[in-house]
Chains A and B, each alone.
Chain A
Amino acid sequence: MTVRRDLVGAVLAVSILAVAPPLVGSSYLVGVLTVAVIYGLWAASWDFMSGLTGRENFGFALFIGAGAYTAGFLDTLAHLSPWWGLAAGMAAAALFSLLLGFPTLRLKGPYFALAMLSASAIMQRLMLIFWETTGGEEGLYGIAPLFSSPLAYYYFVLAATVASVAFLVMLARSPWGLILRAIRGDEATCLAAGIDVTFYKMVSLIISAAFGGLGGALYAHYQLQVSPQLFSVVTTITVIIMVYVGGMGSIYGALGGALLLTLLTELLRDFGQWRLLVYSLTLILILFFLPGGLVAPLWRRLRGGGGR
């Protein structure tokens, strides 16, 4: 029952996003929506690993940046077709997660968070120090667009994100996802039950990183530029706030949170220099009054029937 309602909700949400551009009628807002959907992909991938297993990844920006820079380098140096960039971005991010996962995944909560955080911050500094190769603080610019029409790119990004999020949601609801949630609940019991906890955590990190990298490559070919700011803690925190507002552990909620907050930041432009103050005050209100988040809990109430 709830599954069918979830499906109806998902179809409804996707159709709203699909018909939004003609309704909006402004290529600026289509651009904002495109970036919002990419943030949605990032938020959903973050949630898949961290929301399910309870290991908050404060270095997620590393995967975003790895995907974006890989796509950027392939385009500006090797002049390969942007499609290769998408695949290579995913692969590069997955590779980084593999390298970092082994030493860090055994760490508990805040320690894992900080280890990942410092890894991404180190990458950011390296980008600045080796500016001769990486372009320094300006990063790489003049990246070719994937589609020349912004509308076509929006639909492509939307399709890629919807497919990725659907895949992640299904994975999270499979027996596989159950194991991940069990690890969050009680790692020791899982170990005792003979579950290879490290393996599951590792694979979930790799999946999360790969989709983060895909988002990074999509971002690079949309913004036509990548800069070290992508690697910064600010990027990670922006994504985590989106997941938090969406409701942790639901994945689709993260997508909703990303759309909500990206649109909010852009619509607050009329506040001029007060914009960020209004944004952070809004954030405090949401965090304080809705500690479980906004989007996923709201949907559960609308849908009824409990569950996720």
Chain B
Amino acid sequence: MAAYRHVLSALIPALALVAGALLPSAASAQTGPIRIGVPTPLQLQVGRDTIDAVDMAIREINAHGGVLGRKLEMVVADETENPETGINAIKKLTADEKVDVLIGGYTSGVTLAQIPHIQRAKTIYLGIGAASPAVTRGVRTDYENGKYIFRAFPLNSQHQARALAEFINGVVKGELGYSRVAIIGENAKWVQDLVPLLRKGATDLGMEVKLAEFFDTQTSDFSPLLSKVKDSGAQFLVVILSHASSDVFVKQWYDARFPMLIGGIDVKSMDADFYQRVDGKAQGEIAANLGVRAPLTPKTIPFWDAFVKKTGRAGPVYSAFGAYSAVMLYAEAVGRAKTTAAESVIKELEKTDHVGVVGRLQFDENHDIKAGPGFINLFFAQWQDKGERVVVWPKEQRTGKVVLPAWIKK
């Protein structure tokens, strides 16, 4: 009995809160602040850095008087890595918070689940996390409904495959003189899209693909797979993973000193302090990065340093580059359109030509970010002594040469 009374006394204030939350919040359309909705996984680094970067961009714009005389403000909703929560986040931001634009995203599965709901809310979405080409497919197949979706970041997996093939041609084949590679990737949509393209690209270059295998995203032990790669005789192992445990992957490669060089797209290895977090066992891994602390554009180094100063962390993860630039290019489009009405802003967004923090940003006819030299590109950096990251590809940005770990003979 007493227990009930306790629960009830706890519930009553909660109910009062609920009633308060249910009252419709007034948000007038063309006056007051411009609201930027950020659906992102709050508890992950990707989400944390997205929020910090959006906040940085908003502060800068507001310090210069905002857009059309209106200030910008951010509304965050946790989308986790679960589609159901992701859909709820979109509905909260569009229906309740009445945001003018959505900037965020991480897991392709969540983003794809959100898209129909974003389209029905007729709200502009600037994706900055998901790489699956399917995200912008609606723009091509059904422009009237699909036009709200843009991918401002990162490169879609087709572009990533092409960039990887160029890296294999330039570094793996060209510099190291290897001819045998193996490709392993986690069993996720964007990798399933990427691997066949990469395989074909490598074969076209005259490389021998000794092994290509998908592994479960929950794989807890990579040793059997690494042994198989070793037995296949591959000299270079291309790895593509984002959600799987990349710490296990490099630790086990290093612990048994597997005799092939590893590299590719390892999303966690983009973190500035990844090397420290795996006790230096990433030594020699060549990971693709979407941004590095180098003068890629005049804005790169100032942004990087300001981000480090603001957050006290070692460096931004990839979502921060996209989030910061997406706010900037949205603000520019609104400025040109002289309104926040979606239809007009979309027209202006399509004309975007913006120098972002890691490259020049333009959208192609599918609302997908353009990729390649000068635009958004992949930078391949190798972890070398004492956790120094040395850019080895593309040639224009390189800061050093590939160094083989001590146990790998050329």
Mark A residues whose CB is within 8 Å of B.
23-29, 31-32, 35, 125, 128-129, 131, 135-139, 141-142, 223-225, 227, 229, 263, 266-267, 269, 272-273, 275-276, 286, 289-290, 294, 298, 301
The answer to the question of B209 belonging to the interface, with a C-beta cut-off of 8 Å to chain A, is: no
Known: A31-B95, A269-B77. A225 touches B112 (CB 8 A): yes
> Which residue of chain B has the shortest Cβ distance to A223 in the bound complex?
B87
Q: Determine if B91 and A28 form an interchain contact, defined as CB atoms under 8 angstroms apart.
A: yes
B92:A269 contact, CB within 8 angstroms: yes
Min Cβ gap B256→A in Å is 27
Q: Closest Cβ of chain B: how far from A286's Cβ, in Å?
A: 7
Let me know if B7 and A139 touch, CB within 8 A: no
| A269 lies within 8 A of B78 (CB) | yes
Q: Is B24 touching A129 in the complex (CB atoms < 8 A)?
A: no
Cβ contacts under 8 Å, A286 to chain B: 7
CB pair B187 A137 closer than 8 Å = yes
Of A35, A223, A269, A289, which one neighbours B113 at CB under 8 angstroms?
A223
Task: Contacts A223-B113, A290-B3 given; indicate if A138 touches B78 (C-beta within 8 A).
Answer: no
Check B113–A141 contact: CB distance below 8 A.
yes
**How far does the alpha carbon of A276 sit from the alpha carbon of B92 in the complex, in Å?**
18
Please give the distance in Å from A278's CB to the nearest CB on chain B. Answer: 11
Known: A24-B22, A27-B91, A269-B77. A136 touches B113 (CB 8 A): no
CB-contact partner of B189 in A28, A35, A125, A137, under 8 A: A137
Taking CB atoms, residues of chain A closer than 8 Å to B116 are: 141-142, 224-225
With the chains together, A137 CA to B214 CA distance in Å?
13
Q: How far is the CA of A28 from the CA of B75 in the complex (A)?
A: 15
Flag if B88 contacts A131 (CB, 8 Å): no
Give the docked Cα–Cα distance between A23 and B23 (Å). Answer: 9
- Can you name the residue of chain B whose Cβ is closest to the Cβ of A32? B88
- The closest CB in chain B to the CB of A20 belongs to B22
Contact of B192 among A131, A267, A273, A301 (CB under 8 A): A131
B82 touches A229 (CB 8 A): yes
Question: Is B96 positioned at the interface, with any CB of A under 8 Å from its CB?
Answer: yes
When chains A and B are docked, how far (Å) is the Cα of A83 from the Cα of B84? Answer: 22
A138 and B189: CB pair below 8 A?
A: yes
- Partner of A138 from the list B21, B87, B94, B109 (CB cut-off 8 Å) is B109
The answer for the CA separation of A273 and B189 in the assembled complex, in Å, is 27
6 new A-B pairs (CB below 8 Å) besides A138-B109, A141-B113, A223-B84? A24-B22, A28-B88, A31-B95, A137-B217, A223-B83, A276-B43
CA distance A23 to B117 in the complex (A): 23
Which of A24, A26, A32, A139 has the most CB atoms of chain B within a 10 A radius of its CB? A26
Beta-carbon contact of B112 and A141 below 8 Å:
yes
Q: Complex Cα distance A129/B215, Å?
A: 9
A29 to B216, CA, bound (A): 36
Which residues on the B side are within 8 Å of A263 (C-beta)? 18
In the complex, the answer to whether A298 meets B4 with C-beta atoms within 8 Å is yes
* C-alpha spacing A227/B113, complex, angstroms: 9
User: Please, how many angstroms separate the alpha-carbon atoms of A275 and B76 in the complex?
Assistant: 13
Q: In the complex, what distance in Å separates the CA atom of A276 from the CA atom of B42?
A: 11
Q: Across the interface, which residues of B come within 8 angstroms of A225, CB to CB?
A: 83, 87, 112-113, 116
In angstroms, Cα B96 to Cα A266, docked, is: 13
List residues of B (81-112) whose CB comes within 8 Å of A's CBs.
Answer: 82-84, 87-88, 91-92, 94-96, 108-109, 112
Is there an interface contact between B192 and A136, defined as CB atoms closer than 8 Å? Answer: yes
Is B181 close to A, CB under 8 A?
A: no
- A289 partner, pick from B7, B87, B117, beta carbons under 8 A: B7
Q: Which of A27, A131, A275, A301 contacts B187 (CB 8 A)?
A: A131
Partner of A26, one of B6, B24, B132: B24
Name the residue among A27, A223, A225, A301 with the largest chain B CB count within 10 angstroms: A225
Name the distance in Å between A215's Cβ and chain B's nearest Cβ.
Answer: 13
| Cβ A227 vs Cβ B22 within 8 A | no
> Are A224 and B117 interface neighbours, CB within 8 A?
yes
Given A26-B24, A223-B83, A290-B3, the answer on whether A267 and B109 have CB atoms closer than 8 Å is: no
13 pairs from A and B in contact (CB 8 Å cutoff)? A24-B22, A26-B24, A31-B88, A35-B84, A35-B88, A129-B187, A136-B192, A138-B113, A141-B112, A225-B113, A275-B78, A286-B7, A290-B7
* Interchain CA distance A129-B6 in the complex, whole Å: 48
A16 to chain B minimum Cβ distance, whole angstroms, is 13
B76 CB contacts on chain A under 8 angstroms: 272
Set of chain B residues within 8 Å of A139, measured between Cβ atoms: 83, 109, 113
B124 → chain A closest CB, angstroms: 18
A interface footprint on B208-221 (CB within 8 Å = 1, 0 otherwise) = 00000000110000
A289–B88 touching, CB < 8 Å:
no
Known: A25-B24, A272-B42, A272-B78. A137 touches B95 (CB 8 A): no
List chain A residues, Cβ under 8 A from B182.
Answer: none
Bound state CA distance, A135 and B87, in angstroms? 19
